[in-house]
Amino acid sequence: MSGKSEVAIVGSGVEGCAAERKLSRYQLSVVGPEGPAPTGPPCAGGIYMLGIVLREPRQIVVGRFGEHDFPAGFYLYVGSALGGLRGRINRHMRAKKLLHWHIDYLTVLNPVTSIWWAVSDERMECTWAKRVAQLPGASVPLPGFGASDCRCETHLVRLPGMPSASDMDSVAAHLHATETGFRSDQCAVRS
């Protein structure tokens, strides 16, 4: 592409993000009011994985599951956002929100420290969740967590520490994604 933008989006709210999502299907250079889109989750739909660190064991009430013990460790949660990755991930990163999904009960108490995403029109979160569960040292802290709309054992896995880049490459292998990405420690500000 040349140095010129082919499309300029005025407004980066709901309408701007919806326009960017629709335009993401085409090979266009898009610029918003603050310049080119920042690196991070796109508006396009796909699957995502949130990394959360629990530095010490906690008892956390998780909706209908009730109170449950969560040992210290690195947790990976896999979800889908076919309506748009940026909006869903930004919601998960907020400390103040209505508790709707199982993961909300963890993220209101513990900030998201890492995010992986893959742009795709396919529902691939179950494939990713099963691959994450096969990582070295992986355990299932709460069967059924995040899996109320599928037959997976869980969409939340606990690891003794943050997975290596090669482990995460093996998780993402064979995905039919048009774009993948990763950001770490981007949740310093929680509002």
- pLDDT (mean) for 142-156: 94
Tell me, rounded to whole angstroms, the distance of Cα 170 from its chain centroid.
17
- Give residue 2's pLDDT: 46
- Give residue 28's pLDDT: 52
- Spell out the domain ranges in the chain: 7-36, 46-184
User: Rounded to whole angstroms, how far apart are CA atoms 22 and 24?
Assistant: 5
User: Rounded to whole angstroms, how far apart are CA atoms 105 and 54?
Assistant: 13
Strand partners of residue 31: 8, 36
pTM listed for this prediction: 0.77
- pLDDT (mean) for 91-102: 89
- More confident of the two residues 63 and 24: 63
Judged against a pLDDT cut of 80, whether residue 112 lies above it is answered with yes
- Give residue 1's pLDDT: 42
What's the DSSP call for residue 34? T
